[in-house]
Structure 1
Amino acid sequence: MLRRTAQFSKQAARSNHRISFTPDPVKGEAFRSYQEHVVQHAKGTTTLWRNISFLSLPLLAVCAYYVVPKEIHHVEHMEALVKLPDDQWPVEMDYQNMRHRKFFWGDKSLFWGPTNHQISKE
């Protein structure tokens, strides 16, 4: 076993002095041009997404300017609706709150809340 190890180390030492491949300048230039193409594409993509990000912030501000007053009015309406007596609540139609089977967590949906749903007397 020691002899095999010595032979292997001699072969490994000899193989270090040899070039195990021959360089191909055509393939090397093709690889370099591909890498340059990848870098240019990455620069273009980065610029595109930076511009999209700069455009999205003002658009979000405009949307917030439009939506926030409507939501404030909606919250005020819901707070006033909670204070109404049960007989003045909007009439619940037959097609609303249909339950074909019970939820495994109870009889209320995930979006049920005591401030925005009338408690049914049934």
Structure 2
Amino acid sequence: MSSILRTAHIVRQSGAARVTARNISRRSYHQIYDGNVARGKKFVDEQKAIHHHAASTAGMWYKVSLYLALPLVTVSLIRSFKQETEHIAHIKHHASEEEPEDLAPEFPYQNIRRKDFFWGDGDKTLFWNDLANAHRA
């Protein structure tokens, strides 16, 4: 019976036997490489190469995140903040000049509320904006 089948058979048993399954798989693993030193050395060298590659790749992505992604997100944040500030100033400027016919029409299906909100005066939603939202009549 191969070591894999032996391990699979023991793993199906109770939880206490799982420790034995791990020990058998370790024993079988070491038995493969104990007889052939060159094969064991090759395996260890491959594992070291994999570890080295993983460490260098992780370092590269850390640097990409730190030096590329973080500044780009910061620039985007500043740009969007400036645009929104200009937009709000534009809305405030035109809000005082607008005639009632220039405003967006109020349709009967908009802002239907069966009961008041439990915060504030009950009229304002959680994301209320006095410039964009119309008060209920």
Please give the TM-score of this superposition, normalised by the length of structure 2.
Answer: 0.47
Residue 91 (str. 1) matches residue 107 (str. 2): no
- 1:27-106 equivalences in 2 (<5 Å): 27=40, 29-64=42-77, 66-80=79-93, 87=100, 90-94=103-107, 97=110, 99=112, 105=118
Kindly, what percent of the aligned residue pairs are identical?
19
1:107/1:64 CA distance change after superposition, 3 Å:
closer
Q: In 2, Cα distance between the equivalents of 1:65 and 1:114?
A: 24
Can you give the 5+ residue segments of structure 1 that lack an aligned partner in the other structure? 1-19
Other-structure match for 1:110: 126
What CA deviation, in whole Å up to 9, does each residue of 1:19-39 have, x standing for no partner? x98672334641442133123
Native 8 Å contact 2:116 2:123 kept in 1? yes
* Secondary structure in 2 matching 1:72: helix
Q: More deviation in 94-103 or 44-53?
A: 94-103
Q: Which amino acid aligns with 1:110?
A: L
Can you give the 5+ residue segments of structure 2 that lack an aligned partner in the other structure? 1-26
1:28/1:93 CA distance change after superposition, 3 Å:
farther
Aligned length, in residue pairs: 102
Q: Which amino acid aligns with 2:60?
A: T
Question: Once the 2 structures are TM-superposed, how far is the Cα of residue 49 of structure 1 from its aligned partner?
Answer: 3.2
Q: More deviation in 24-33 or 66-75?
A: 24-33
Q: Which amino acid aligns with 2:125?
A: S
* Larger-Rg structure: 1
